[in-house]
């Protein structure tokens, strides 16, 4: 059993890339200025959100190269999380001490980056091991002068920014393709904050589309009360799927479930998008039904597409509006919970793995 009382130490939460149920916590002396190479900055990670989305980073760590973001020694991996950090020491002329950044940090209380300026509000980590990853994963936002990153608003930003992005992009991605001539979009894992964001933004963007959430039987009342979906169906009642031109937006990664939905909709299914792994332990492959095979919905690639079309300023404006819309929808339904240190993270990690974490809570790890 891990010993968590390690005063004046920094910690790293390490996970086995080959078995997500195996983990350990390492404690080390804090890095000091002499430990840094020229051009590097040491970051004290202050807090980060931790949701089912983080389990996706673990499960798809090899496929999407998430383990490459923050390499660990031996057969262990340091998975990423969206958080806020403060510069505590710097040998870079580009980042001054006490600057605060938002971006992807390791599950840890300290890390090192090698910054390069990317416009007035952003820096990018140029460390060699990160260069093969999607650009969105290497970018950090300066937040010292951004009021919405402070207080309870800051907690909502940490919680919702990674999740709201999927909703923003899905709504525009499907509208730009005329929803593949579908009239209905089904969203699995409908209780998840990502699923809620997708449903909400598609309804806002295209009110004529019918959005149906699919969730577990014990969560149907909660999901229905959100007033996001036109209808809610549970996984045990897929006979209620309608015989009309449809899109499936799957966040479960449960191939057996997806196969059942494909089979039920048959020729009515016009497009199938695979965007998550909330049912992370489900295995197998989804067979093609008719002419439709699941297509991967990879957020960083789609984000780069719309950044190129809209430009950074319009993208950020639309993204900010999406976050606020999602926060307004969830603020009376979801309670922000602060979880302390590596011990609290360990407990929450196991709850998210076994599915026992409450959908009505949004968790922020205070390191």
Rounded to 10 degrees, what is the CA torsion of 168, 65, 59, 282?
90
Q: What is the pTM of this model?
A: 0.87
**Domains parsed from the chain with CATH numbers:** 10-145+336-366 (3.90.180.10), 161-301 (3.40.50.720)
Residue 113 has pLDDT above 50, yes or no: yes
Question: Rounded distance, CA 121 to CA 348, Å?
Answer: 32
Contact 41, 115 (CB under 8 A): yes
Residue 171 three-state SS: helix
Rounded to 10 degrees, what is the CA torsion of 362, 167, 113, 352?
40
Q: Which of 2-6, 8-12, 100-104, 297-301 shows the lowest mean pLDDT across its residues?
A: 2-6
pLDDT at 279: 52
- Mean pLDDT (the chain, rounded): 91
% of the chain residues with pLDDT over 90: 75
Q: How far is CA 191 from the centre of its chain?
A: 15
- Fill in the DSSP letter of residue 60: T
Residue 112 has pLDDT above 70, yes or no: yes
pLDDT in tens, 155-199: 999 999 988 999 999 999 999 999 999 999 999 999 999 999 999
Residue 282 has pLDDT above 80, yes or no: no
């Amino acid at each position: 059993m891990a010993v968590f009382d390690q005063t004046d130490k920094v910690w790293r939460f390490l996970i086995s890339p080959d078995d997500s149920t195996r983990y350990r916590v390492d404690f080390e002396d804090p890095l000091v200025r002499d430990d840094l190479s020229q051009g590097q900055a040491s970051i004290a990670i202050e807090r980060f959100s931790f949701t089912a989305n983080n389990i996706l980073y673990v499960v798809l760590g090899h496929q999407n190269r998430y383990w490459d973001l923050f390499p660990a020694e031996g057969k262990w991996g340091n998975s990423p999380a969206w958080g806020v950090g403060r510069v505590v020491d710097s040998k870079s002329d580009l980042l001054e001490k006490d600057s605060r950044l938002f971006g992807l940090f390791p599950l840890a209380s300290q890390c090192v980056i090698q910054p390069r300026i990317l416009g007035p509000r952003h820096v990018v980590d140029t460390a060699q091991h990160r260069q093969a990853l999607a650009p969105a994963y290497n970018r950090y936002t300066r937040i010292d002068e951004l009021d919405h990153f402070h207080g309870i608003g800051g907690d909502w930003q940490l919680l919702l920014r990674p999740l709201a992005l999927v909703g923003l992009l899905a709504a525009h991605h499907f509208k730009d393709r005329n929803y593949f001539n579908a009239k209905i979009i089904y969203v699995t894992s409908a209780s998840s904050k990502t699923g809620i964001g997708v449903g909400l933004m598609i309804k806002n963007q295209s009110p004529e589309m019918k959005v149906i959430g699919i969730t577990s039987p014990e969560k149907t009342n909660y999901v229905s009360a959100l007033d996001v979906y036109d209808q809610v169906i549970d996984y045990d009642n897929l006979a209620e799927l309608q015989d009309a031109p449809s899109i499936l937006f799957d966040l479960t990664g449960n191939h057996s479930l997806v196969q059942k939905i494909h089979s039920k909709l048959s020729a009515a299914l016009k497009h199938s998008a695979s965007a998550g792994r909330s049912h992370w332990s489900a295995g197998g492959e989804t067979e093609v039904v008719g002419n439709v095979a699941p297509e991967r919905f990879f957020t960083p690639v789609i984000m780069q597409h719309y950044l190129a079309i809209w430009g950074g300023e319009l993208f950020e404006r639309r993204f900010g509006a999406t976050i606020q819309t999602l926060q307004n929808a969830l603020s009376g339904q979801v309670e922000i919970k602060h979880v302390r240190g590596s011990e609290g993270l360990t407990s929450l990690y196991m709850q998210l793995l076994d599915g026992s974490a409450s959908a009505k809570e949004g968790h922020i790890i205070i390191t």
